[in-house]
C-alpha cells in the first residue's frame, strides 16, 4: 500500500514510515521509490547519504543514474563529476553530460573524452551536441577526425550521417562522392563493382585500402543474392586490378562462406583454400571430403585447432581415412568431457560418459554469513514477496558488477535452496562453475514431464533438456520475440497447438503455468517429430521452425553430426548440440540408463 502512495506522500510522511518500518528489509527500496518520484526537490545531501547507505543494491545504482541526468540538466557540474565515477554502466546520454561537465570545469581530460565520443559510426545523444560544438569552436575537430567518423559511419551503414559529415570537411566534393559510391554499392553491387572509378582520398584514408574495403562490401552484398554472380564479378575484377594474397583470401572467404551457409556444391571452389575459415571446414564436411577437412582445420590458428569441435572432426577425418590409431588418439583427448563433443568421442570409442559431478564445496557457516549480507537479504525479500522484476534486477546487478566467483557460487546455492532454480543456473554460468549437476541440471516438474511423456511418447529427458535450454526452468520467462514460459512457446504456436488437442488457450497467462506450458510444448515437439521421425530434426525445428529445417535437409542421407555442424544459424546449431548433451545428463540425473547420443542421432535423410 505504501508503494502505491509514494508519489503523493510528503518528506515528513516518508520519514515517519521509515521510523515505523526500520527493521523492514526493503525500507531502502521504499526510499528509492520516493526519491525517484521527487528527485528535483529532494535534498542532495539526503540522496548522497542514501547512495552511501545502499552501495550494493540495484536501486541505489539506478537512483544514481537518474540523479546524474538531473544534475546534468541543471548544470550542477561539480556534483555531477563527484558521483559520475561510481556510475558502473554509463549510458550515451550520461557520457555526453560527463563531457559537458569536463568542459565546464576546464578539465584537461575533456579533449580525449570528446574524441572517444566523436569516433563512433552512429549519431550520438543530443547531449553531445554542445560538446561537439565546443570541440569545433576550439579548433580541435580536424578534418582527420571528420574523415575517420565518415568511414565509421559508412562501415556501419549510416549513410545519412556520413552524408551530413561529408559537408563539413574541407574537400567536401570528394567526401560526398565517396559517400555516394558506398550508398550505390549498397543498393546495386552488381553494376557498381565494375563501374567503380577510384578517386584520390585525403589522409588519414589510404585510397587503395579504402577502395578494397568498398569492393569487399560490394562482393558481400552481391553474394547474399547470388554467390555465382559474386564469384564471376570477382574474377573480372582480378583481371582488371591487382590484389594482395590476403585481400584475395578475404574475398574468397566471403563468397565461400555464403555458399557454405546455403550448402552449395561450389563452396570449396569459391573458398579457393582460404586459410583460417571455419565454414570452409563445414563445407568440406558436408561433401565428406576428408583430406580437405584436415587441410582446412590445420590452416586455423594453433589455439583454434585445439577447440574440442575441431579435435573431434580431426578424429572423424582420420577414422574416415582408415587411420584408426590417430583417430582414437583424438577421441581419447575428448571422451572425458561432459559436453556434446565429449559424448560423441566416447561413442566412437564405446566408452562410458563421464559426468564429472562435483558438489560445490561451501561451508555452512560461510553460507550463513553470506546470507546475512544486506544485499542478499534484500534479494531474498524481493523473491519472497513475489516482486519478480525487482528480484531479477537485484540478482543481475550483483552478478554483473559486484560478486566474485566464490560469492556467485554461494548466491547460486542460496537461490537453489529458495527454489529459484533458473537464477541459480544463470549465476553458475556467470561464475563458469560447471560441475555441480544438482544445481545446474535439477530434475524439476517431474509430474508434468512424465505426464507429457506418456501422452506424446517422447522421452522425458529430452523434454527436460528442451525446457532447460529454452528457459533454464523459469516458468515466467519471456523472450524479446514474445515466447513464453518453461518451453518458450510463441502465442500463435500455443493457440494453434491448444486448438488441435481441443484445449483452447483462453488467456496467454496460462503459458506461465508449468503444467499448461509443458502440455502444449511437448505436444508441439511431438508434432514436429512426426514430420521427420528424427529427434535431431525435431530439436532444430523447435528452435528455428520446421520450414527452415526443411530447407536445410540434404539431398542424400547424411550423418547427423555432419548435418548439425552445418546448421547455418549459430543459435540453432548450439541449441541442438546442447539439447542432445543435456538429454544424456538428465538421464544421469534421473538415475536412468543413459541413452547414448548415437542412439538419439539417426542419419538425416531427404524429406520423403
DSSP line for 504-534: ----GGGGGSHHHHHHHHHHHHHHHHHHHS-
Locate 155 and state its grid cell.
Answer: 562501415
Per residue in 291-311, is it b (16+ CB within 10 Å) or e — as a string? ebbbbbbebbeeeeeeebbbb
CA angle 108, 110, 111 (to 5 degrees): 95
DSSP line for 472-501: TT-TT-B-TT--BTTTTB-HHHHHHHHHHT
3-state secondary structure of 302: helix
Residue 152 pLDDT level (bands cut at 50, 70, 90): very high
Q: Which residues contact 279 (CB under 8 A, 6 or more apart)?
A: 256, 257, 260, 261, 267
Residue 192 pLDDT level (bands cut at 50, 70, 90): very high
Mean pLDDT for 188-203 is: 91
In whole numbers, what is the pLDDT of the chain averaged over residues? 95
Q: Which residue has the cell 520475440?
A: 481
| Predicted local confidence at residue 61, as pLDDT | 96
For CA atoms 385, 386, 392, 395, the dihedral sign is positive
- Give the integer Cα–Cα distance in Å for 211 and 222: 16
Judge residue 111's burial from the number of C-beta atoms within 10 Å of its C-beta, 0-12 exposed, 13-18 middle, 19 or more buried: middle
275-282 contacts, C-beta under 8 A, 24 or more apart: 275/249, 275/299, 275/300, 276/300, 276/301, 276/304, 277/253, 280/253, 280/256, 281/310, 281/313, 282/565, 282/566
Which ranges of 156-288 would DSSP assign to H, the alpha helix? Answer: 159-166, 172-187, 189-195, 207-225, 227-240, 245-261, 267-271, 278-286
Please report, for residues 212, 230, 250, the alpha-carbon distance to residue 187 in angstroms, rounded to integers and kept in the order given. 18, 15, 22
Residue 489 β-bridge partners: 484
What phi, psi does 521 have (nearest 5°)? -65, -45
Mean pLDDT for 567-588 is: 98
Q: Which domains does the chain have, with CATH numbers?
A: 2-139 (1.25.20.10), 142-274 (no CATH), 368-434 (1.10.1240.20), 446-600 (1.10.530.10)
Query: pLDDT exceeding 70 applies to what percent of the chain?
Result: 97
Residue 3 pLDDT level (bands cut at 50, 70, 90): low
Q: Which residue has the cell 558488477?
A: 401
Helix (H) or strand (E) holding 354: none
For the annotated catalytic residues, the residue numbers are: 470
Residue 485 pLDDT level (bands cut at 50, 70, 90): very high
pLDDT, one tens digit per residue, over 330-384 is 999 999 999 999 999 999 999 999 999 999 999 999 999 999 999 999 999 999 9
Mean pLDDT for 293-309 is: 98
3-state secondary structure of 558: strand
Cβ–Cβ < 8 Å for 59, 47: no
| Predicted local confidence at residue 308, as pLDDT | 98
3-state secondary structure of 323: coil
- Give the integer Cα–Cα distance in Å for 61 and 127: 21
3-state secondary structure of 604: strand
Mean pLDDT for 577-584 is: 98
Residue 608 pLDDT level (bands cut at 50, 70, 90): confident
Residue 23 pLDDT level (bands cut at 50, 70, 90): confident
CA angle 156, 160, 161 (to 5 degrees): 65
Mean pLDDT for 316-337 is: 98
- Please give the distance of CA 313 from its chain centroid, rounded to a whole number: 26
DSSP secondary structure code for residue 6 in this structure: G
Mean pLDDT for 5-12 is: 66
What is the pTM for the complete model shown? 0.94
| Predicted local confidence at residue 422, as pLDDT | 97
- Give the integer Cα–Cα distance in Å for 103 and 300: 48
pLDDT at 581 over 80: yes
pLDDT at 4 over 80: no
What phi, psi does 489 have (nearest 5°)? -90, 135
pLDDT at 411 over 80: yes
DSSP line for 404-425: -HHHHHHHHHHHHHHT-HHHHH
| Predicted local confidence at residue 204, as pLDDT | 87
Residue 197 pLDDT level (bands cut at 50, 70, 90): confident
pLDDT at 6 over 70: no
Mean pLDDT for 572-588 is: 98
Q: For residues 464, 469, 472 and 478, what is the CA-based torsion angle, rounded to 10 degrees?
A: -120
- Give the integer Cα–Cα distance in Å for 567 and 340: 15
Amino acid at each position: 500500500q505504501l508503494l502505491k502512495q509514494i508519489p503523493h506522500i510528503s518528506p515528513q510522511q516518508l520519514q515517519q514510515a521509515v521510523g515505523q518500518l526500520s527493521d523492514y528489509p526493503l525500507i531502502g527500496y521504499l526510499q528509492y521509490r520516493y526519491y525517484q518520484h521527487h528527485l528535483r526537490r529532494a535534498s542532495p545531501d539526503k540522496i548522497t547519504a542514501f547512495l552511501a547507505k545502499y552501495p550494493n543494491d540495484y536501486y541505489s545504482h539506478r537512483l544514481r543514474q537518474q540523479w546524474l541526468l538531473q544534475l546534468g540538466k541543471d548544470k550542477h557540474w561539480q556534483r555531477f563529476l563527484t558521483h559520475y565515477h561510481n556510475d558502473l554502466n554509463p549510458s550515451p546520454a550520461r557520457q555526453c553530460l560527463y563531457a559537458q561537465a569536463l568542459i565546464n570545469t576546464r578539465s584537461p581530460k575533456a579533449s580525449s573524452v570528446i574524441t572517444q565520443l566523436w569516433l563512433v559510426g552512429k549519431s550520438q545523444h543530443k547531449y553531445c551536441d554542445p560538446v561537439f560544438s565546443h570541440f569545433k569552436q576550439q579548433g580541435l575537430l580536424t578534418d582527420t577526425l571528420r574523415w575517420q567518423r565518415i568511414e565509421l559511419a559508412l562501415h556501419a551503414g549510416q549513410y545519412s550521417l556520413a552524408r551530413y559529415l561529408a559537408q563539413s570537411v574541407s574537400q567536401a566534393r570528394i567526401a560526398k562522392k565517396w559517400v555516394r559510391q558506398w550508398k550505390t554499392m549498397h543498393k546495386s553491387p552488381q553494376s557498381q563493382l565494375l563501374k567503380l572509378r577510384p578517386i584520390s582520398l585525403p589522409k588519414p584514408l589510404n585510397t587503395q585500402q579504402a577502395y578494397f574495403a568498398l569492393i569487399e562490401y560490394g562482393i558481400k552484398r552481391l553474394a547474399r543474392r547470388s554467390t555465382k554472380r559474386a564469384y564471376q564479378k570477382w574474377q573480372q575484377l582480378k583481371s582488371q586490378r591487382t590484389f594482395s594474397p590476403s585481400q584475395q583470401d578475404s574475398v574468397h572467404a566471403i563468397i565461400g562462406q555464403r555458399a557454405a551457409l546455403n550448402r552449395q556444391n561450389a563452396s570449396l571452389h569459391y573458398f579457393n583454400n582460404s586459410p583460417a575459415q571455419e565454414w570452409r571446414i563445414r563445407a568440406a564436411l558436408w561433401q565428406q571430403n576428408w583430406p580437405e577437412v584436415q587441410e582446412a582445420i590445420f590452416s586455423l590458428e594453433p589455439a583454434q585447432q585445439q577447440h574440442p569441435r575441431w579435435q573431434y572432426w580431426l578424429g572423424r577425418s582420420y577414422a574416415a581415412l582408415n587411420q584408426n590409431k590417430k583417430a582414437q588418439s583424438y577421441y581419447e583427448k575428448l571422451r572425458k568431457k561432459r559436453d556434446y563433443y565429449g559424448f560423441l568421442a566416447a561413442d566412437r570409442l564405446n566408452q562410458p560418459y563421464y559426468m564429472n559431478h562435483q558438489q560445490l564445496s561451501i561451508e555452512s557457516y560461510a553460507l550463513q554469513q553470506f546470507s546475512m549480507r544486506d544485499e542478499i537479504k534484500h534479494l531474498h525479500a524481493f523473491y519472497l514477496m513475489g516482486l519478480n522484476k525487482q528480484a531479477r534486477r537485484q540478482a543481475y546487478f550483483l552478478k554483473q558488477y559486484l560478486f566474485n566467483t566464490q560469492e556467485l557460487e554461494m548466491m547460486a546455492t542460496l537461490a537453489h535452496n529458495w527454489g529459484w532454480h533458473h537464477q541459480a543456473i544463470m549465476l553458475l554460468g556467470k561464475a563458469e562453475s560447471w560441475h555441480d549437476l544438482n544445481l545446474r541440471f535439477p530434475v524439476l516438474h517431474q509430474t508434468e514431464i512424465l505426464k507429457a511423456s506418456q501422452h506424446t511418447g517422447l522421452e522425458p529427458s529430452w523434454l527436460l533438456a528442451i525446457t532447460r535450454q529454452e528457459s533454464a526452468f523459469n516458468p515466467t520467462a519471456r523472450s524479446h520475440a514474445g515466447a513464453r514460459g518453461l518451453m518458450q512457446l510463441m502465442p500463435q504456436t500455443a493457440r494453434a497447438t491448444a486448438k488441435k488437442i481441443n484445449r483452447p488457450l483462453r488467456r496467454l497467462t496460462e503459458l506461465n503455468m508449468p503444467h499448461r506450458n509443458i502440455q502444449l510444448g511437448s505436444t508441439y515437439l511431438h508434432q514436429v517429430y512426426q514430420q521427420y521421425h528424427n529427434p535431431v530434426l525435431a530439436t532444430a525445428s523447435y528452435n528455428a521452425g520446421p520450414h527452415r529445417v526443411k530447407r536445410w535437409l540434404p539431398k542424400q542421407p547424411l550423418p547427423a553430426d555432419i548435418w548439425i555442424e552445418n546448421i547455418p544459424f549459430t543459435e540453432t546449431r548450439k541449441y541442438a548440440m546442447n539439447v542432445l548433451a543435456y538429454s544424456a545428463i538428465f538421464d544421469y540425473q534421473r538415475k536412468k540408463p543413459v541413452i547414448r547420443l548415437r542412439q538419439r542421432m539417426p542419419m538425416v535423410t531427404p524429406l520423403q
